[in-house]
Amino acid sequence: MAGKEKIVSEGRLTEFCQQAFQRAGMTAGDARTAADAVVTANLRGVDSHGVMRVPPYIRRLLDGGANANPQIRTVRRGPAFVRLDGDRGLGLVVSTYAMKEAIKLASATGVGVASVSNSDHFGAAAYYAMMAANHDMIGVAMTNGSVVMSVWGGKGAFMGNNPIAVAVPSGIEVPVVLDMAVSKVAGGKVRLAVKKGINIPLDWINDKDGIPTDDPRALEAGGTLLPLGYKGYGLGVIGEVLCGILSGARILDEIPLWFAKTTEPVELGHFFMAINVDAFIPVQDFKKRVDQLVQKIHSAPRARDVERIYLPGEIEHLSEQKRRAEGIPLPETVYQDLVKIGRELNIAAEL
């Protein structure tokens, strides 16, 4: 099975995903938003958070764990912040709404913060941070998640791998986009390795007995992701505070595994911030300095056998350029999962 792939165009994949979300009960607008979020992840080479996630998202919508037509409401609002209740909507939709709110606030006050409760899995964090960067703002996106990672010094899964993304606009250079889980690797990458039929590095996960393993199937069999050292664990704790406690959402073991318990609401919390660069410094001056930063880092002395030094998000940018032109490669198993859900939903469009 390893190595087999299907190449699908961005347009065909987006159309298929949009139809799937609509058939599962979402409005056309929300379906477009969700489809764009997952396909963008694939374009950027973040396949672990792309269309591989569509079947479990659809299952959550059909089984009632997620709300296909959420009525997102404001719980509390101030000049520079808003607290939102996502009404159990897919995180892809709720988070897009929330970051738009943060951007509006930042346009007026310089900084905008959106705190979200009662949401669902939101996919790739960079998608929302980049929304702000596209408005000449610095974007921050965070979420907590299902228990998949051990704590530092602990044994077994105890907390989410609570990702954080920061996107920084630039001038002529590629925007700087950091997107990272606080575990050594995102759980989706382990599950993608299962789909591809390949082994993983030994330091990614432990099996159910706490022993390092290169078998990605061990994660679903009671294994756990490992934190990115004590610093990753520390960031994970802060993620629980900003995303879960500040918003009034669930934390730690209160959150069920979203793709396994598809009838249950997960009630995740998110945190979004937009910083209006022009409120602090003329935006063109800022972008020029970011370009200088990028150029200086690119010119840093390279270690032996290193051909190029990359900035955060640069590899993903290059992937996006390539895949827009050549199509998106999908593992055969992921492709067949989409075909299967398409048949279930009576989608006429073919992949």
pLDDT at 219 exceeding the cut of 90: no
Cβ neighbors of 312 (< 8 A, separation 6 or more) are 176, 177, 178, 179
Percentage of the chain lying above the pLDDT 70 cut: 99
Q: What are the structural domains of the chain?
A: 5-298+316-344 (3.30.1370.60)
Q: Read off the tokens for 107.
A: 């346009």
Q: How much is the pLDDT for 196?
A: 84
Pairing mode, if any, of strands 73-77 and 81-85?
A: antiparallel
Task: Write b or e for each residue in 51-81: b if 16 or more Cβ atoms lie within 10 A of its Cβ, otherwise e.
Answer: bbbbbbbbbbbbeebbbbebebeeeeeeeeb
Query: For position 252, what pLDDT does the model report?
Result: 97
pTM score, whole prediction: 0.94
The predicted-structure confidence for 289-344, as pLDDT tens digits, reads as follows 999 999 999 999 999 999 999 999 999 999 999 999 999 999 999 999 999 999 99
Mean pLDDT value across residues 250-275: 97
pLDDT given for residue 195 in this prediction: 80
Give the chain's mean pLDDT. Answer: 95
pLDDT at 2: 54
